[in-house]
Amino acid sequence: MMTILGLLFFQHLFLSLSLSLSSFLFFCARPRCISITMLQKHLTSESAVRLHEERRGRKPNTDMQLSSLAYSSRYATQDVPKFEIPENSAEPQVAYQLIHDELELDGRPAMNCASFVHTWMEPQADKLIMENIAKNLSDQDEYPSTMRIQERCISIIGNLWHAQEAIGTATVGSSEALMLGGLALKKMWQNQRKAQGKDASKPNIIFGNNAQVALEKFARYFDVEERLIPVTADSHHVLDVEKAVEACDENTIGIFIILGSTYTGHFEDVKRLSQLLDEHEKKTGHSINIHVDAASGGFVAPFAFPGLEWDFRLPRVVSINASGHKFGLSYAGVGWVLWRSSDFLPKELIFELHYLGGTQYSFNLNFSRPACFMISQYYNLIRLGREGYTRIVENDLSNARLLSEALEESGIFDLVSDMHRADGVFGWQNKRSTKDMAKEKGKKSGMTNYNPSLPVVSFKLTDEFKEKHKHVKQSAISTLLRTNGWIVPNYALPPNEDKIEILRVVVRESLSRDMVHRLVDDILQTTDLLTRVDSEMQTSEYAPLEYISEANKRPRTDNDHAKDEHKDVKKPRTYARTC
């Protein structure tokens, strides 16, 4: 039983925030995306100060427009404005210290379990990057050796993906790479339709509504109808390939299939889709090709699951994209797209350039871009080799399975991801059969067989836990983990399954086994803290009213009626919300 002092402390905490426990947890849970956006509004010093002060009901304070150094008495000789270019120059140390101090507020990359992006490279790779940081990858005539390195990377990656005569290019990431693959599909379809004398104005592309936003960007930016296939528990939260084929018609330019869902890490079944499209062509005469979005899986499958057929071994697969800066183990800024052969890259998409010296050929959305990150990819390929990549990926998967099993054995969480379960075993209802079944299935091959997947751990509170502790919000776990430095996102599964929220951890090379142990401890301790507070508040005479009565239900307001008027407005069908 809590002491009266302890009860008063908790009551004061919640009342001082003008929140009950449940609304406090909602506050922890709500997305704070207004200030975290890639699109930024223009601000003048005057407007920034006024906006800041008006939000707080204060008189404008002009000091808010100035940057302040942590060591200003040592370095600064004058104030530096935030939103306007300074009239005078500053000493290098002043500029460095100002920016350095502000960036100290960023999170720690090694504890960012939300991101797939690689954040560490060896000192020798860092040195190569700095030696080549000024090189422009688009200037082929000035940097011929750099171009030869890109050519070798294409060949090495093409061999990993079982290509025979592939053609490809480096990009700034897998988003650009995917859009180039989609553009090639669209142009091929248009050329075929025009050659047949048919209408080519209504292209469509098919993919699951678990897709990463880059797939939707392609459809929206390049005027292609997106046909989104709802994912379900029966499809293991990824594309249902049979429904995808059912959605095809003569205007389908292709199907995007994902090797590694960002939600749960599952690989979509490329081989089965290829077989179904063969049958579809026999019935309808429509030949539909596949682009594999292997942003993460492209550098996982060749090393962890070499027998899995997902790449150019399947004739329907005509193009593949991947991120070099995810499990390719390079820094952010490099991606790859390869086509089976030049037959699947329409020539009218390739530009011939002459104004930088010699004749150059280009197929990219970006022109000028750094060459150093492509060079760092080559460093990894020759430094690690197949042995090194295999060792790193298998270690990532091993750590992810350890995390999965620890969370599952706690009895508090269900594992929505299936990467720790035996090949062919899916769903959190099979939580007690994972390791033994995997070993049993692997007896013939002499190795343990698990479901092919990324090292991604997605989990949720069990229904039993939520029934017992109704006021504990799962999103509060995510918020409170940040106090220990961890970034573990909480969000809903794609539409059609969005009543289920998941916490997700991406296990990268930088997440060591010791860190996994610490993360498990912090997750369980955070959940235990929320559970104890919930239990104590329910039994306390100081508990907020909703714990003891429904009397505090507020009356409906004009805002509620306004919301009713818009309830039938069509909502986005994937996780990418429209502004």
- pLDDT attached to residue 26: 42
254 and 161 fall within a common domain: yes
284 and 391 fall within a common domain: no
In a domain, 209, yes or no: yes
359 and 499 fall within a common domain: no
Please report which residue ranges of 259-322 form alpha helices under DSSP H.
Answer: 270-284, 301-304
Whether 6 has a pLDDT exceeding 60, the answer reads no
Q: Strand 225-229: give its sheet, edge to edge.
A: 167-171, 335-339, 317-323, 290-293, 252-258, 204-208, 225-229
341 and 405 fall within a common domain: no
186 and 221 fall within a common domain: yes
Residue with tokens 């294409």: 154
- Residue 74 DSSP class: H
- pLDDT attached to residue 82: 81
In a domain, 61, yes or no: no
- Please, which pLDDT band fits residue 73 given cuts at 50, 70 and 90? low
368 and 392 fall within a common domain: no
Least confident of 100-109, 111-120, 163-172: 100-109
- pLDDT attached to residue 343: 96
Number of domains in the chain: 2
Least confident of 98-107, 206-215, 375-384: 98-107
In a domain, 77, yes or no: no
Average pLDDT of the chain?
85
Whether 64 has a pLDDT exceeding 80, the answer reads no
In a domain, 575, yes or no: no
What value does the mean pLDDT take over residues 117-127?
97
Whether 270 has a pLDDT exceeding 60, the answer reads yes
406 and 371 fall within a common domain: no
- pLDDT attached to residue 32: 42
Nearest-angstrom CA–CA distance, 230 and 243: 9
Whether 404 has a pLDDT exceeding 80, the answer reads yes
305 and 241 fall within a common domain: yes
Burial of 297 (0-12, 13-18, 19+ CB in 10 A): buried
Whether 47 has a pLDDT exceeding 50, the answer reads yes
363 and 415 fall within a common domain: no
* pLDDT > 90 in the chain, percent: 66
- Please, which pLDDT band fits residue 13 given cuts at 50, 70 and 90? very low
- Residue 316 DSSP class: T
Helical pair 474-481 and 513-539, crossing angle rounded to 10 deg = 130
In a domain, 491, yes or no: yes
More confident residue, 24 or 311: 311
Whether 322 has a pLDDT exceeding 50, the answer reads yes
Domain enclosing residue 345, as ranges: 124-378
Collapsing DSSP to helix, strand or coil, 351 comes out as strand
- pLDDT attached to residue 15: 38
129 and 186 fall within a common domain: yes
For residue 455, the domain's CATH number is: 3.90.1150.160
158 and 298 fall within a common domain: yes
In a domain, 360, yes or no: yes
For residue 282, the domain's CATH number is: 3.40.640.10
Residue with tokens 């490329």: 270
371 and 392 fall within a common domain: no
Tell me the pTM: 0.84
In a domain, 358, yes or no: yes
Collapsing DSSP to helix, strand or coil, 164 comes out as coil
- Residue 269 DSSP class: -
Helical pair 372-409 and 144-160, crossing angle rounded to 10 deg = 30
User: 520, 537, 554: which is the final residue of a domain?
Assistant: 537
Q: Which residues of 515-553 are buried (b: 16+ CB within 10 A; e: fewer)?
A: bbeebbebbbebbeebeebbebbeebebbbeebeeeeee
In a domain, 84, yes or no: no
